[in-house]
Amino acid sequence: MESGLETIGDLASAPQSVLLDIPSMGKTTTNRIDRALTALAESQNPDGSIDWEAYCEGMDVGLFPEESKNGSFSQILADFPAVLKSAFEICESEEDGIILVNRIMAPPKERLSLEAVSDLFVEKVTRERVRQKEAKILARLANALIHDDYANMPYRFRPEFSEPWRTAAEYFSKSDEDISFVDFVNGLEKAWSVPRREFAKALPLVTAIITGELAAGKEFQSSVLFDTTSFKKGDHPVVELPLKLLQVHKSAAVLQEQGYATVGEFLTAIKSGALSASDTSHTRRVYDSIRILAKCTCPDGVVDWWKYTDLAEVAFLPIFDVNDPLCFLESIVPTTASVLNSRKISTHAADVFTRRSSVALLDRPTAEALAIDLGGYGSTIKRIETDLLSFLSDVYIGQNLAISTVHLSAAFLMHWAFVAECFEMADGDTSLASDLLATGWKIEKEQISPYLPAIVAIVTGYPMGRLGRYTKLRPTDAQSPKNDIQDFPAIQEEEDIEDFAPQRIVLRGFRRSH
């Protein structure tokens, strides 16, 4: 080409003497050129097309795939790794085959290091030598598949097998030299008219050939390489699912502050490039959780939450069915104890709830008495109780499962939503709230009473009967007139003192910073 012979026609019409005058051109090369031209002429069909099987046989080179396939782009891409591996086993060196399987074709997480690959060679070489051989392999594959350049290849690919690559090259020829990985994957999807799930497994290999480099795993995460078709199915599609229902810890709140509160909003941001799965620990955690969710979503859009909790390695609670209101009531204390033990807010959190927060006033131990039993101080028990009730309210009423390290059934959360609605309607009147619950659940009010302390504590953040800003949640006949000082409860019994007086006085008002 440097000497002006750019086409096969130019080459065929040039005398051998002209070829031999070209620097570095010898008899061996000119003989190979003659052989190639002869094989090409003999394999040419009357319509001008080339019978590549005849040509490769005449040149004694391989043709892959070994049998012609006229499948779709999806099928060609699915077959590509196997075809490439076969070509290397037959026509390439053993070392190049090792690099192909353990580096170029391997998923990012399973890819061996350069040094580890060198250890697999018969004669160990340096890391740099492995890298050089890898680069040459990628260059040869790119030249053949994209540019139809087989000058340095010991085999050929069938034209239909190279078609997806040429189609992609034509699509991206109008793009800037550098594009984001997300744009690259979106472009392949458009160029091939194939959903990305069809070429997801081959994407590391495809990217390596096109870019000449092995991309890191985090780059592939940003392309959302999992099937999200089922996320839009059903009456309550997964795309509308709040992130706080997933096991993503504080990441749900962080992303919600950024404007991404649902699965759909997060995926849209990833696809558009507004977010990258590798940006922060929060985006990585949410992305990984959604990948798990995709594995657990049926074709009709229904999520198998048992499977999700198994893959996420968290418990599914309650451990029994709570569709019946009485079953729900019976599950509150044991389920809450399991939630608190799982979350580990405090070593004594579950004990404080079961032995104090969920107990009726007459049977409830004081904070000091419980502290003596558990070890510690009354003020510590009070603080633990405040924290755990706030946490439970966030999880049960706010349905923020992200911070719970367990997954709660839809029926359990639905009952709590109804509880919150009744207390809102009752405006803090526990007696009225209990009436509303009994009516809605079609059970007797007396059946709710044993569980009312636990319910009130979780809904309000205070144990039932404790004085404070939620005094309206006490029975109406026990409330004191707001402006009648004479009716203020006398401080006589220990329980009264505990419920009225703070355990500690923090002198913030005297501090300049306050």
pLDDT in tens, 28-87: 999 999 999 999 999 999 999 999 999 999 999 999 998 887 777 778 888 888 999 999
Structural domains in the chain (count): 4
| Segments forming the whole domain that contains residue 25 | 8-52
Q: Is residue 260 pLDDT above 90, yes or no? A: yes
d(CA 198, CA 189): 9
Say which residue, 144 or 508, is predicted with more confidence: 144
Whether residue 251 sits in one domain with residue 385: no
List C-alpha distances in Å: 390 to 282, 341, 387, 395: 23, 15, 5, 9
Last residue of a domain, one of 296, 313, 330: 313
Closest CA to 256 of 245, 269, 243, 267: 243
Least confident of 20-24, 207-211, 278-282, 485-489: 485-489
Residue 60: inside a domain: no
At residue 50, the 3 state secondary structure works out as strand
* Cβ(263)–Cβ(231) below 8 Å: yes
Whether residue 149 sits in one domain with residue 34: no
Whether residue 460 sits in one domain with residue 359: yes
Q: What is the pLDDT of residues 297-316, one digit of tens each?
A: 999 999 999 999 999 999 99
Cβ-proximal residues to 240 (8 Å cutoff; 6+ apart), any chain: 262, 263, 264
Q: Is residue 392 pLDDT above 90, yes or no? A: yes
At residue 254, the 3 state secondary structure works out as helix
Query: Residue with structure tokens 């709710």?
Result: 448
Residue 444: inside a domain: yes
Q: Is residue 175 pLDDT above 50, yes or no? A: yes
Whether residue 437 sits in one domain with residue 365: yes
The number of CA neighbours under 13 Å toward the Cβ of 219 is 17
DSSP string covering 433-453: HHHHHHHHHTS-HHHHGGGHH
Q: What percentage of the chain exceeds 70 in pLDDT?
A: 85
Q: Which two tokens stand for residue 507?
A: 């002198």
Last residue of a domain, one of 313, 345, 369: 313
Whether residue 121 sits in one domain with residue 34: no
